[in-house]
Amino acid sequence: MKLIVVKDSEQGGKEAYQIFAEALKNGATVFGLATGSTPLTTYQKLVASKLDFSDAISINLDEYVGLKPDNPQSYQYFMQEHLFKSKPFKRSYLPQGDAKDAAQEVKRYDRVIAENPIDLQLLGIGRNGHIGFNEPGSDFTSATHKVALTPSTIAANARFFKNKDEVPRYAYSMGIGTILKSKKIILEAFGAAKAAAVAAMIEGPVTPACPASALQKHADVVAIVDEAAAAKL
């Protein structure tokens, strides 16, 4: 895993932006995208740039179960606001939070990924080491699936909702197996709250107890980490 330590998330966004620009120049057409506060500086750089994604495809990592796409807390809405309305892609895929049939929805999403193999996947990391919504204990070979969120993730994500009771208890997420199939992966982590997860991801054993440690098995991962998140390395 290549490690880039930056001063702050602003610098981190610039580094990630450069990798996006390079990938696009080299013919990448499918971009795996993430939500949360972490990728925001990257999206700001993409929005401010001249890069053109109108021939490219985006595939997001995850979505809350039960939220309609127009719900302001949905990841669909987040992506629209922070990236797609300014930088449209030819096609953008997310799991459909309000799908009627969960089993069908995860199959549909895996078909989308199989038909559009991901060239560059952007990831954040949860405080407990989760990637996408693959919580500790997740199988490293998993495909897209419905996940029960852990109390720690529900508490961490409650800041985006009016109160904790409004945070959905389930999500659809690409699996770790799916994520590992991406040709290249960028993982961003900013802030002291991520320091323990970053240390476990990079220096800890490869174990489902830290889902992000699975990235040690991938040949082309760039971790972009600010000084606070690198403090325990």
Three-state DSSP class for residue 44 = helix
Given 15, 135, 188, 226, which residue is catalytic? 135
Residue 134 annotated among the catalytic residues of the structure: no
d(CA 186, CA 173): 18
Residues 177/114, Cβ–Cβ less than 8 Å: no
Please give the distance of CA 230 from its chain centroid, rounded to a whole number.
19
Given 105, 130, 145, 188, which residue is catalytic? 130
Cα–Cα–Cα angle for 200, 13, 139, rounded to 5 degrees:
35
Sequence-separated (6 or more) residues with CB below 8 Å from residue 190:
8, 9, 12, 38, 225, 226, 228, 229
User: C-beta of 35: minimal distance to ligand GLP in Å?
Assistant: 6
Specify the residue, 12 or 126, whose C-beta has the smaller distance to ligand GLP. 126
36-40: list long-range contacts, CB under 8 Å, 24+ apart. Answer: 36/124, 37/124, 38/9, 38/124, 38/125, 38/188, 38/189, 38/190, 39/122, 39/124, 39/188, 40/9, 40/13, 40/82
Specify the residue, 36 or 95, whose C-beta has the smaller distance to ligand GLP. 36
Specify the residue, 76 or 153, whose C-beta has the smaller distance to ligand GLP. 153
Given 128, 134, 145, 226, which residue is catalytic? 128
Residues 200/1, Cβ–Cβ less than 8 Å: no
User: C-beta of 50: minimal distance to ligand GLP in Å?
Assistant: 26
Residue 26 annotated among the catalytic residues of the structure: no
Query: Tokens 């930056």 — which residue?
Result: 6
User: C-beta of 116: minimal distance to ligand GLP in Å?
Assistant: 19
d(CA 122, CA 153): 19
Query: Tokens 């925001």 — which residue?
Result: 40
Residue 82 annotated among the catalytic residues of the structure: no
Residues that bind ligand GLP in the complex, under the rule CB under 6 A? 34-38, 61-62, 124-126, 132-133, 153, 157
Specify the residue, 90 or 169, whose C-beta has the smaller distance to ligand GLP. 169
Residue 135 annotated among the catalytic residues of the structure: yes
Given 15, 60, 62, 145, which residue is catalytic? 62
Specify the residue, 56 or 156, whose C-beta has the smaller distance to ligand GLP. 156
Query: Tokens 């030819």 — which residue?
Result: 90
User: C-beta of 142: minimal distance to ligand GLP in Å?
Assistant: 15
Q: Which residues are catalytic?
A: 62, 128, 130, 135
